[in-house]
Amino acid sequence: MIKGPSDANRNTAPIFFLLRKWLDHNVIDLGRQMRVSYVPPLMVYLAAGVSGLTGIVGTFFVKEYLGLSAEFLAALGFWAMLPWALKMPIGHLVDLLWRHKAGLIYLGATLIAAALLIMINLLSDREYMQSLWPVENWYVLAALLAPVGYVIQDTVADAMTVEAVAVIDEQGRPLPEPEILAAHTTMQTLGRVAIIGGSLLVAGVNVAFFSGIETMDEAQKAAIYLSIYRWALWIPVISILGVVLSSYLRAQEEWRLAAHGFEFEDIERLTARAREVPAVNWPLLGGGLGFALFAAAVGLGGLRNSEEIVFAGSLAIVLFLMWRLTMDLDGKTKNRLYGTAFVIFAFRAVPTTGAGETWWMIDDLGFDQQFISKLSLIASTLTLLGMFLFRRFMAERPITYIIAVLTVVLGLLYIPNIALYYGIHKWTAELTGGVVDARFIALVDTALESPLGQIAMIPMLAWIANSAPKQLKATYFAVMAAFVNLALSLSQLLTKWLNQGFVITREVRDAATGRIVVAADYSELGWLLIVVMGLNLAIPIAAIVLAKRTWLKD
């Protein structure tokens, strides 16, 4: 029997109904929960996302202009991540100086702008900069200044997310606790969306900038690099505008409540802005300052294994501060927090292959700036989609379940990279008439992997926003984030060790003579990929088992 149009419509109607229901439940509903008060911290987070504008340029700048090894770059990545451990004293300072938070945003913006101006001058007048200081030293300074600026801004933004969530209705009556918790979860989700949205924006910009890059000479490429860094100067401006908007919205809300007859003290209390200034935690401030001086002394002292020494010291300090900070929590809450933080730490501590894999993709697979920008655009787009797709999954599953699923999926997604190294793209391209080539496989792998990376942090951020003491929100965010971000430092440290064992080099030529100084050698990359995949699977799973037996017992 042949089905008519009415039968087809009846069959497709449930599908469209379910799709519309899903979109309403996971995407449109998040938009409905958006509030104007959320915009200021989201602008600071957006600036962090937009910071990726210079990522691809930085990769090619290092490859084309500097002779830094993969091992050195991994070590530099360790030092660049270390300022995030300073979120502890910075977070406490934010709580102490909350009324002056705008000044901290301005300070962070100044450091970011300084790092960008260094790179602009390296590209526009390299000879002059080199006459003042070696180019490699300027690059390292810029690579360290920017993270400090972003740490300061991120710490303030974390606490601003708490202030952004309303605790009273329009008549000044307190809102129910479940409604406030739901708003905190929405706020934290929107924060991740802002960061990823920023990366999506800059990925699209990079695709446009690098259009036709394959036909350009070195001077034209350098001009594009310079233009991108100049556009990046808008990054600190975005965060400053967020603070300006925050001040305006606060004044508007105060006028509205005053119009309802509330006195000044009541307005401060009802809007949760009459924050009780906590007592100065001198061990926290002193420990943070001591840690900064210790790290600087070890790093500048040229000690052997300086990264390992600094990591061990910083981890000990953070663990001690976590213990001190959570002393007043009940046993069950404390164990839940410890177990959650430990599992996320292990998940983020897994090593990467380092810069060598990107160099190999550029040299052997022919991935140019525009194609890498397209990969970044796809990754950002699908990550943003994944935030909506997995929103209920994050809310309804325990963190151990979420991390276990992400670990297995992300670990298995290393297989296409390994297969590419051993030449599977040559076989698939021949079999499919050139359709399934290296770029096709890379696009598919990126599409599958990209939605998964940002998911794990949201449950812990929502817990801190809702459960931490009101006057210590920034401190809680800072200490927990410092612990989890130390995992990224450990990841860079493990990456450095792996690059010591599996030596990968790109071709480096003398700028004056054109003579090859270092020959390209990617012969050990295959084993490096296999080892990294194994560690990416083993480390988080082992952490989950340990946490379930120690802190997260049923």
Q: Is the pLDDT of residue 545 over 90?
A: yes
Q: What is the pLDDT of residue 274?
A: 47
What mean pLDDT comes out for the span 13-25?
Answer: 71
Q: What's this model's pTM, rounded to 2 decimal places?
A: 0.72
Q: What is the pLDDT of residue 526?
A: 93
Q: Could you tell me which of 292, 338, 350 has the C-alpha nearest to residue 491? A: 350
What mean pLDDT comes out for the span 94-121?
Answer: 88
Q: What is the pLDDT of residue 421?
A: 93
Distance (Å, rounded) from C-alpha 241 to C-alpha 46? 11
What mean pLDDT comes out for the span 314-327?
Answer: 80
Distance (Å, rounded) from C-alpha 384 to C-alpha 27? 11
**What sign for the dihedral angle of Cα 311, 312, 317, 322?**
positive
H-helix segments, 24-86: 29-32, 39-50, 55-65, 70-81
Q: Which two tokens stand for residue 285?
A: 């401030």
Pairing type for strands 508-509 and 516-518 reads antiparallel
- DSSP track, 73-100: HHHHHHHHHGGGGGHHHHHHHHHHTGGG
Which one-letter amino acid corresponds to residue 69? S
What mean pLDDT comes out for the span 1-7?
Answer: 50
pLDDT, tens digit (0-9, with 9 covering 90-100), for 324-382: 778 877 788 788 878 888 888 898 899 989 888 888 998 898 888 888 888 877 777 77
3-state secondary structure of 349: coil
Judge residue 282's burial from the number of C-beta atoms within 10 Å of its C-beta, 0-12 exposed, 13-18 middle, 19 or more buried.
exposed
- Binned at pLDDT 50, 70 and 90, residue 1 comes out as very low
Which one-letter amino acid corresponds to residue 167? V
Helices and strands (DSSP H and E) totals, the chain: 26, 2
- DSSP track, 195-257: HHHHHHHHHHHHHHHTTTGGG--HHHHHHHHHHHHHHTTHHHHHHHHHHHHHHHHHHHHHHHH
Q: What is the pLDDT of residue 463?
A: 58
HSE-CB of 138 using CA atoms within 13 angstroms: 24
- DSSP track, 302-322: T-TTHHHHHHHHHHHHHHHHH
Distance (Å, rounded) from C-alpha 408 to C-alpha 241? 41
H helix or E strand, kind and range, residue 5 = helix 5-23
Note whether 473 and 464 are within 8 A (CB): yes
Neighbours of 496 (CB within 10 A): 22
Q: Select the more confidently predicted residue: 406 or 538.
A: 538
CA distances from 360 to 122, 213, 495, 507 (A): 25, 19, 16, 10
Q: Could you tell me which of 301, 165, 155, 322 has the C-alpha nearest to residue 239? A: 155
- Binned at pLDDT 50, 70 and 90, residue 467 comes out as low
- Binned at pLDDT 50, 70 and 90, residue 428 comes out as very high
Choice among 265-274, 384-393, 396-405 with the minimum mean pLDDT: 265-274
Can you tell me which residue has the tokens 């957006």? 46
Distance (Å, rounded) from C-alpha 504 to C-alpha 499? 7
HSE-CB of 317 using CA atoms within 13 angstroms: 27
Q: What is the pLDDT of residue 533?
A: 93
Can you tell me which residue has the tokens 């809300």? 253
Q: What is the pLDDT of residue 528?
A: 94
- DSSP track, 487-543: HHHHHHHHHHHHHHHS--B--EE-TTT--EEE--B-TTHHHHHHHHHHHHHHHHHHH
Q: What is the pLDDT of residue 461?
A: 63
Q: What is the pLDDT of residue 61?
A: 80
Q: How high is the mean pLDDT of the chain?
A: 80
H-helix segments, 165-212: 177-209
Strand partners, 518: 508
